[in-house]
Structure 1
């Protein structure tokens, strides 16, 4: 791999920074972000701004209405948005469902959904995991029985992030109970306002509400809302999960943590001196900076593999997922430690209103403990570390 600076990529970074300076409203910048995405009004407003300037789909090809950026350009865009404090986009629609619709949907389905995704008019959630069917996704039991030109869906999904404020859900269902378990799965798009859908909140260990249980009780879904053929769900899911290996480590998040740690290093004190003056703190911070740099280098390597359509990108993406999520956990723990006694304070969750009387260190401590608790799950969601290590062993060592 060529480790020389990419002048074209540097110029692109300058372009993105200039765009953010010009188009990111001051009242949207640096607003607290929840564990997965920004609050709906902020997300929708930012999506409309991006789309109005031709940047509504940074992760899609130009032929599909996207920017046509390379993998490395997308990474630069993500990094600069985090650095500028921009709201998130709807990652479920942009990075997961969007590529599926572009690759597998009918022209009628594209006309129905793509403009509304680009315009921020339709937010999505993902209905994959079920009680007992998380890492073993092919064992899902939610049924869809065909009755004429509709499916009747019955079952339960769990960990459906933001189902309570999403407009539609993309759903894996079993349409053939007698087929091999992977072969009997289909991929449906379902309007969350359809009668028979019940969403119940799950308050997670970070004391936030972004997770839900979602129940389907005789929910009638038009057959026209199925993506691909009946039984194609597993093939489509593999396509969906194999996208964007270079983003598996969530490098922008790691860099945000690094910025927060540097702030804590100079603002928090141990006795009469700032934390950075303590050799053991400075050493740990330096080691974490080195690890983030190593992850960044590996991300570039995987991005280059994706550009070349190398099959090794899948295994390397799994390695990134393991290393990146473990590093998220260690860095978020270190931030709580850096707050000292105030690391145990239950500061308001980022989406809650600020208290009339600010708590001590709220300006730097708000959301840190919540995030540390949330990151306990980062080695589980998106494919557990055990599953990722199995992929590496199988693809690189034929074990």
Structure 2
């Protein structure tokens, strides 16, 4: 991708992890939709890195985009037009939403020298046919990576990459479970940072940091005598079923669940950290695509065709709004609210995001069915109306705190 940046611009526009990895000459391929085959990228010697909206880069009018294109797509193309992206290629998702589909088409036309690949996801409930279809998409992605960077897929490297991804998710899953038991064990912003590191630059170094945090939390859990409780929560979240869960949870502060689709945990944590302190409430669990749904993606099976294994793993990521299964997602949310003793539900919706806005009403009803306070909040990824969002969240948390 032809994007020339000065060192100063690079430092301003990149995460700390990416800044540190630029010097050795690592190759980065950007992605937008969270469910990507991390293992396959790493096996080709390429680092997949989530592209985020930049608050400093306002997405303006772009006549080639759809009239109601979301602010994320406008922001991304504005970053590219302003040479703010340091990438060697980009993967666009197909079949997830119209805005991203349109963005990929426009990108190819506007920036013909960029390396661009479209990875098309099936929307049907995973079965043999959908897995085989997506496996073929992954083979084509692998071929594109080999042609673009002249690095073949090495099976030894694929095995090592798979182990890294599994270990990363295992550590993050434990932290999610521990926070469900007692959110004071780890701040939500710290968890969001660790998830963000995985999305930005999955590597042995970032894994080591995450495992170090998980070990420290595990020691605290042991000192509290809650090892079995956290283990049962962890296992229930992995199963995707809370029916048999019956654990004593911390109720020293109000317990808030947040849900939504294309919202990044770091964005929400940035909005709520100070508010949580003053309101006496904590986020105990997020069900975001960039958070819980990515973290609890099941590991690939062992043996057999690696593309089939990775395809099945990705397609079985839990609760994804771009796939069929809304009744099941609503039921799981109701179970979460009841079994995990939630005191309030925040439904986040990215503005003009079709999957988010389609799911929002049903997710809100899940909270009402659980007889707890609910608020639906549209969130602009650029946070251009941050004051309004913070006011709504603060008002909601204060009202939850008044509930008996």
Q: TM-score, normalised by structure 1?
A: 0.29
Task: Find the structure with the greater CA-based Rg.
Answer: 1
